[in-house]
Amino acid sequence: MASLLGIGQGRLAAQDMASPAATSTSSVPATPVVPAPAPAPDAVAVPSVPPAPAPTPRKGPPQEYVIVSGGPALRFFEKGKEGSHDKFWGNFIVSASLRIMEIQQEKGPQDVVSWLVYRPTYERRGMESGQDFIAAVQKKADTVGASLYWFSEPGELFNYLNKGKDRKALPVGDFEYFGHSNRACFMFDYSNEFDAMSRSFFHERQISLLDPAAFASDAKAKSWGCHTGEEFSDIWKQKLGFTMTGAIGKTDYSNGKIPVLSAADGKWSE
């Protein structure tokens, strides 16, 4: 915020200056010799910090990075609650976009980054707020260089993972989820259509609907939602044969960055 500084007016009074009397040169005192100032001490050298090394691009056959964003709750349901969810509509968009920016530095030259976003929640939150969040998400996807795909039902997500691309030529190498979750499922529309409930979800019993052959042999996965590491991650590994990193406890999206663990005793688990 710009600050305004008041500038006061000063007034210089004129003074009568008497002419000095003439004096002899012998009475003029000698100009004192001012010693030269001591040299300033050498500046302390500040060691330079080497820049962080750039991530090494992944090598190997092409793979697809699949990032999934669930949707925000409505303020109609959450306003006034203790621990109110999703005061900011874009919690799962901003965090995912930041992660995609990291991936763009990590991926191989032929790898593909795809972003799947649960559309109905952003339509409803947009109607509530009087804003076009569909356009905002598209703009963010364009900015980070990801291919955006909307889905409206969990089955569309499952179909995309299984056969959205030729999985022999382009298997899923990385799967990451940003959104609401509990120990047993991802909740794409938590508190968006019904208060404190979800009608659209990915339950651990549905993991068997995914084809293990759709994933690369060195595939990895991570859920950035709450509680996934307490149960969902175990079933994922049993059914698909590779680990999913998940949180023991809650995660916090309120910092406007990639989410962090909410509590000091929380941890990431596989």
Going from N- to C-terminal start, the domains of the chain cover 64-269
Please report how the helices 133-144 and 119-129 are oriented relative to each other, as an axis angle in degrees rounded to 10: 130
Residue 12 exposed, middle or buried by CB count within 10 Å (0-12, 13-18, 19+): exposed
Judge contact between 270 and 243, C-beta under 8 A: yes
Q: What is the distance between the alpha carbons of residues 232 and 244, in angstroms, rounded to a whole number?
A: 8
Q: Does residue 170 surpass a pLDDT of 70? A: yes
> In terms of Cα–Cα distance, which of 197, 175, 268 is closest to 226?
268
**23: its two tokens:** 């004096």
Mean per-residue pLDDT, 258-262: 97
Which pLDDT belongs to residue 23? 39
| Per-residue model confidence (pLDDT) at position 32 | 55
- Of 194 and 29, the structure prediction assigns the larger pLDDT to 194
Q: Is the pLDDT of residue 69 over 90?
A: yes
The pLDDT of residue 35: 59
What's the mean pLDDT in 197-214?
98
- Partnered with residue 267 across adjacent β-strands are 248
The burial of 106, by beta-carbon neighbours within 10 Å (0-12 exposed, 13-18 middle, 19 or more buried), is given as middle
Mean pLDDT of the chain: 86
- Does 215 score more than 90 pLDDT? yes
Taking the C-alpha atoms of residue 249 and residue 115, their distance in angstroms, rounded to an integer, is 26
pLDDT of residue 130: 97
Q: Is the pLDDT of residue 222 over 50?
A: yes
**Residue 46 clears pLDDT 60, i.e. is over it:** no
For position 27, what pLDDT does the model report?
A: 47
Closest CA to 226 of 265, 266, 174, 171: 266
* Range in 9-23, 136-150, 170-184 the model is least confident about: 9-23
**Residue 216, Ramachandran bin (φ over 0: left; ψ between -120 and 50: alpha; else beta):** beta
Q: What is the assigned CATH class of domain 64-269? A: alpha beta
Residue for token digits 């795809």? 114
**Per-residue confidence band for 36, with pLDDT thresholds at 50, 70 and 90:** low
Q: How much is the pLDDT for 51?
A: 62
Residue 140 has pLDDT above 60, yes or no: yes
Q: How confident is the model at residue 125 (pLDDT cuts 50, 70, 90)?
A: very high
The pLDDT score that the predictor gives to residue 37 is 56
Count of other CB atoms within 10 angstroms of residue 147: 12
**Which tokens hold the place of 67?**
């990032």
**Whose CA is closest to 89, among 124, 138, 139?**
124
Inter-residue contact 249 to 226 (CB < 8 Å): yes
pLDDT in tens, 72-102: 999 999 998 888 998 999 999 999 999 999 9
Give dist(CA 238, CA 244) in Å, integer: 11
Express as a percent the part of the chain with pLDDT over 90: 77
Percent of residues, the chain, with pLDDT higher than 70: 80
Please state the pTM of the whole predicted model.
0.80
Name the one residue in this structure whose structure tokens are 């200056």.
Answer: 17
